[in-house]
Structure formats: C-alpha cells, structure tokens
Amino acid sequence: MEVTRSDLAAILYETSRQSAEFVFGDTMTAISQDDSGVDVTFEQTAPRRFDLVVGADGLHSTTRQLAFGPESEFIRHMGLYVATMPLDGPADSRRDIVLHNTPGRMASLHPVHGRALAAFIFRHPQIDDFDHRDLDQHRRILAAAYQGAGWRVPELLEKVRTAGDLWLDSVSQARMDSWSTGRVTLLGDAASSVSLFGDGSTLAMAGAHTLGEELAASPADPRAALSRYEARHRTLVDPRQGNVAAAAALMVPATRTGVALRNAATRLWPAAAAASWLRTRIAPRPAAVAA
C-alpha cells in the first residue's frame, strides 16, 4: 500500500490548518537567538520573534544552514543518485513495480494512482558542481548515466529531454553531532535524513511526535526538552542509517554477479517468508506463551 507524498502533505495540512498558522511562498533569511527567544527574518514577510524554531525543511534545510553551517558539513553522499519522472499514461501493471537492472543502474516503472512513474537510481561519485535546482543539468546527468541501456530506457530518456517535472538528487544522509543549538532544533530529513532507503517519512513523523511530547513535558525548559527528544529519537534513526548500503546493494547491484544473486534471492523470498511464517505458528514467541 502506498500513500503518495502529496496525499500525506494534504492530510497533515487539513488536520492542522485550524490550529497552526501557515505562510506559503516565503523562507527564513536569518536567525539570531538569546536566552528567551529566537529572532527570524524572512524573504517576503516582516521579522518575527519565536520561543522556538523547528527546522523541518528537508535534506537541503535552510534552517540548518542558517543555524548550524553549510550543507557540506552535514550531508554525506551515499554513492547514488535518484531521479523520478511522472508519465502521462497508465503503468503496464496496476500492482507491480517493474525493475530493470544493469550493473550500477536501475530503471523502474511504478503504478501510482493509475498513472506510471519512472524512477532511476544509479551509482555515481559525488558531482562537485551539482545543483539540485538545475533541471538542464539533471537531464544531462541522466542521459550520460543511462547511455546504452536497454529495455524501455531509450524511450524514457527521450521523455526526460522535455519533462518539466523531472526530479533528481543525490542519495544522501544528514549526519550531525547535535540536532539542536539553543532554541533552534531540526526534525526529519533536515536533522537525520536516512536517504530514500529507510522509512524516512515514518521517522520524520515519529520524531515530530517525540519532540511534541518532550516540549509538553517541560515547556519552560526547551533546552532540556530538545535534549531528551534527540536522545529518544536517535535510537530509531541510528540503526536505519546503518542499513543503507545493504538496501542499495539490493536495489542497485554494482556487478553482474550482484544482479544475478539479487534475482536468485528474490525468487527464494516467498519460500523464505512462508518458512518464517510457519516457524512463528509452530514455535510461538515467548511473549505469546506468557500471554
């Protein structure tokens, strides 16, 4: 089951619009703080003072840049780039995602609400002059990375040449020694992006919940609350940040042998899952026995 990003955003917005003020089309330009609050200036609207600033502005967080330092200090390239491109027509299959792998490259077609979405994930060293907003650069990177690829890739690359909603970025993690400084804190990908391999949306939502709980527990002492939020939420984030290499090896094997092994393992998967299910029925877990 898949909940699309835009559906999730709409649900969150509708649920909170009565109790929160939303300002669209603006961005922070400077943050300065003292013991009792944070002064923020904006690109479009007048400066304001807040008790607390929570940067939930994603991998390329402006909050992180303003309060902690340049992105290059905190973002770690994981050796892959990812691109997506919605297609006009329906996907070939309504249920199945179809993957085409050659060593170091994966192209795929996903059904999303009846429409097809093309996705590309490929191994590539960090591109020094990469600009996550430069669509023409993204088209060039993709064309070079998938040169000579078979299956439906030539047809998809033809669409890439004119697609207005092509999206491409480095697969990266955010790693920080601390997510908070004074009364400014970070949440979700801004603080601890796991990359696309690892429940990033779930972690962002769980982190927000933990942050809310801790702020409610000691509203007069936000620093203590932020420290408890980080200590608790890191126990969920840290293990997932370590799993990315294995997920990448599964999705984008680097060699022909890797592709063959992955395919063989995938064919055995249903049998392994069935065996595991049977084991749980034959030997109930201790908790079930105790209950």
Ligand X SMILES: Cc1cc2nc3c(=O)[nH]c(=O)nc-3n(C[C@H](O)[C@H](O)[C@H](O)COP(=O)(O)OP(=O)(O)OC[C@H]3O[C@@H](n4cnc5c(N)ncnc54)[C@H](O)[C@@H]3O)c2cc1C
Q: Residues in the site for ligand X, rule: CB under 6 A? A: 27, 56-58, 62, 82, 84, 188-190, 196, 199-202, 204
Cβ density class 116-125: b for 16+ within 10 Å, e for less = bbbbbbbbbe
Bridge partners of 80, per DSSP, are: 123, 171
Taking the complex as a whole, how short is the minimal distance between the CB of residue 11 and ligand X, in angstroms? 13
Look at residues 179, 204, 178 and name the one whose alpha carbon lies nearest to residue 189: 204
Taking the complex as a whole, how short is the minimal distance between the CB of residue 167 and ligand X, in angstroms? 8
Taking the complex as a whole, how short is the minimal distance between the CB of residue 21 and ligand X, in angstroms? 13
Taking the complex as a whole, how short is the minimal distance between the CB of residue 18 and ligand X, in angstroms? 20
Comparing CB distances to ligand X, the nearer of 189 and 214 is: 189
In angstroms, the CA 6 to CA 12 distance is 10
Look at residues 215, 159, 186 and name the one whose alpha carbon lies nearest to residue 74: 186
Comparing CB distances to ligand X, the nearer of 64 and 183 is: 64
Taking the complex as a whole, how short is the minimal distance between the CB of residue 269 and ligand X, in angstroms? 19
Comparing CB distances to ligand X, the nearer of 113 and 279 is: 113
Comparing CB distances to ligand X, the nearer of 57 and 230 is: 57
C-alpha distances in Å from residue 140, one per residue of 111, 130, 137, 146, 280: 26, 11, 5, 10, 50
Helices (H), the chain: 5-16, 62-67, 135-145, 153-160, 189-192, 200-217, 222-241, 244-251, 256-282, 286-290
Comparing CB distances to ligand X, the nearer of 62 and 181 is: 62
Taking the complex as a whole, how short is the minimal distance between the CB of residue 9 and ligand X, in angstroms? 7
Helix, strand, coil % (nearest 5) of the chain?
A: 40, 25, 35
Sign of the torsion angle spanned by Cα atoms 14, 16, 17, 22 = negative
Taking the complex as a whole, how short is the minimal distance between the CB of residue 183 and ligand X, in angstroms? 18
Contact 83, 134 (CB under 8 A): no
Q: How far is CA 172 from the centre of its chain?
A: 9
Comparing CB distances to ligand X, the nearer of 23 and 143 is: 23
Comparing CB distances to ligand X, the nearer of 79 and 200 is: 200
Backbone angles phi and psi of 107, in degrees to 5: -120, 145
Pairing of strands 184-186, 53-55: parallel
Q: Which residue is closest to ligand X by CB?
A: 200
